[in-house]
Amino acid sequence: MKGYIVINKELCKECLLCLNACSKKLISTSTDFNSKGYHPVSFEDNGQCNGCTVCGIVCPEVAIEVYRE
């Protein structure tokens, strides 16, 4: 199953819980800032995401939406 995620960069507060949750290591920190001064995470889609939803579940700000194809 293929999947992908969409990160709402304005909701992300750089807690980095999703980095450890992603078994494929497809989420990384960004050098950009959001309007609140945090470095939001970014998703590097290389076709390996299976839409497991773990990243979305651990996100305390509900900033990650997971989609499956």
Residue 55, domain CATH? 3.30.70.20
Q: Which domain does 41 fall in, by range?
A: 3-68
Q: Is residue 39 within 8 Å of 63, Cβ to Cβ?
A: no
How far is the C-alpha of 68 from the C-alpha of 11, rounded, in Å?
A: 22
CA 67 to chain centre: 12
Asked if pLDDT for residue 16 goes beyond 90, the answer is: yes
Give 28-31's long-range contacts (Cβ < 8 A, gap of 24+).
Answer: none
Specify the pTM: 0.91
Percent of the chain surpassing pLDDT 90:
96
How far is the C-alpha of 35 from the C-alpha of 48, rounded, in Å?
A: 30
Q: Domain tally for the chain?
A: 1
